[in-house]
Structure 1
């Protein structure tokens, strides 16, 4: 089978080549200017934030030596040579880790419930009125903008040391984060079923229940599971301010220079997060298909 290849006249071909080279040159110029602006902005930000590379390289050895110390037992041997000595407090740590998981679970559950109740009011296509939408959106912004550890510190001052402060902090922060994500799901929903349900004389609540909720429920559950995984890490950090869980034991080990305990507790937290990540990914994939894992 033969294929005919047409060759343009030299003058026309030269014109096209010149136009192509100009287009490539313009694109390269834009990329170069963009790169220079990015570097300039990065330098200005570094100077404004007082990032000193000399200090970084001067004291970087301290950072490395700390990891060397937390991987060394009091006897001078490496931690992996004696697991019994390394994980001497595993029963206590597992108990505190269980408390951290419960704090995360209860806080995520409360936050998901409040986010579910508020997201329909915050979504542009389902909110009953603009002023109500504005108020709910600002409320959710406040809840997710203030760091969870700040809420935890406030609640520790109000209610004392313990898990309650951690639960309340995670619940408020999860309400803001999940409320925003849930509202975006609703705004991307198909509104034709809502019009069909409304044409029957159904109330606003019925429209949300029968027309919108079936479209977004899978996304709700998937992001709630993902938020639980994030909150496990959040709860571990909140223990630093006395909000319960294994974070309280970790900060004590850091302050008292129990180096091997620091590495053992960190490894326990990391392994737990790995397991939760795998488990929640499996649950999302099993319930909602492989697309929910990505």
Structure 2
């Protein structure tokens, strides 16, 4: 079977090529113009923020030099040549690291429960009343806008030094962050099951229970595990304001210029975060299946 392809006259082909080239040129011109505007705005923003490239170039050696110092023992040797001297306080640091993990776990759990209870009122497709949605959304914004370390400082003043201030700070910030993520997850559900449940005369609570929760729970669990990983890093900084955990020992080492201690504590925190990331990834795979994560 022979198939004949229609051919266009050379003049028409030339006209089509010219139109195509003109369209491509316009796209490239718009891209170039947008890139120029972006660069100009970036430069203006840099001047407004008093970013000094000259200072960065001149002082970058101090940054590199600090990392060189924290990898040296007091004897002048590299830290990996004498691990026993490097991790001389590992028992105390592990105890404080465990306190940090518990602080993060409790704060994340309280925050997740609070976000779970509020997110349905913040979702545009589920909230019973616009005024209630407005109030809940603004409350969640307040919780996540104020830095957690500021909350920790306030609670340290109120309740004194210790992990309690860190737990409360992480919990409040987690409510705001997870509440936002949960509500967006709820807004993207398939509305047909919800409409079907409502058509039976079911209450708002029953509609959420039977039509919404089965769709959003995998996403809620995934966001919660991610938030726990983030909160471990947050809790490591809480010690800078006396809210307990390994961060309290880290800030002491920084202030007293115990360079090798700084690197040892940082390494322990980094390894802990690596392990948590691997474990939460495995747990997500067990909960939802590897196929749904690809």
Q: TM over 0.5, yes or no? A: yes
C-alpha deviation, 1:290, in angstroms: 2.3
Aligned to 2:236: 236
Matched residue, 1:82? 82
TM-score, scaled relative to structure 1: 0.97
Compared CA separation, residues 63 and 288, structure 1 to 2 (3 A): same
| Residue matched to 2:152 | 152
Question: Contact conserved, 1:222 with 1:292, CA < 8 A, in 2?
Answer: no
Query: Partners of 2:290 and 2:112 in 1: how far apart?
Result: 23
SS in 1 for 2:61: helix
Offset, 1:232: 0.2
Matched, 1:137 2:137: yes
Residue 23 of structure 1 corresponds to: 23
Could you list the runs of 4 or more consecutive aligned residues of structure 1 that deviate by over 6 angstroms after TM superposition? none
Is the 1:111–1:170 contact (alpha carbons within 8 Å) kept by the matching residues of 2?
A: yes
Conserved 8 A contact 1:240-1:251: yes
1:106 to 1:286, Cα distance in 2 relative to 1, 3 A? same
Alignment partner, residue 117 of structure 1? 117
SS across alignment from 2:76: coil
| C-alpha distance in structure 2 between counterparts of 1:141 and 1:34, whole Å | 32
1:96-154 alpha-carbon deviations (Å, 9 max, x no partner): 00000000000000000000000110101111100000000000010011111111111
Q: What residue is the counterpart of 1:197 in the other structure?
A: 197
Q: Which residue of 1 aligns with 2:251?
A: 251
Contact conserved, 1:284 with 1:292, CA < 8 A, in 2? no
| Separation of aligned partners in 2, 1:169 and 1:144 | 10
- 1:270 corresponds in structure 2 to 270
User: Partner of 2:44 in structure 1?
Assistant: 44
What's 1:168 paired with? 168
| Residue 99 of structure 1: aligned partner | 99
The answer for unaligned runs of 5 or more in structure 1 is: none
CA distance in 1 between partners of 2:42 and 2:291 (Å): 36
Name whichever of 71-80 and 204-213 sits farther off: 204-213
Partners of 2:195 and 2:29 in 1: how far apart? 50
Verify the 8 A CA contact 1:72 1:79 in the aligned structure 2.
yes
CA RMSD of aligned residues (A): 1.3
Greater shift after overlay, 271-280 or 190-199? Answer: 190-199
Query: 2:71 aligns to what?
Result: 71
Cα 1:102–1:183 shift into 2, 3 Å? same
Contact 1:118 1:136 in 2 (8 A): yes
Query: Conserved in 2, the CA contact under 8 Å of 1:166 and 1:235?
Result: yes
Question: What is the TM-score normalised by the length of structure 2?
Answer: 0.97
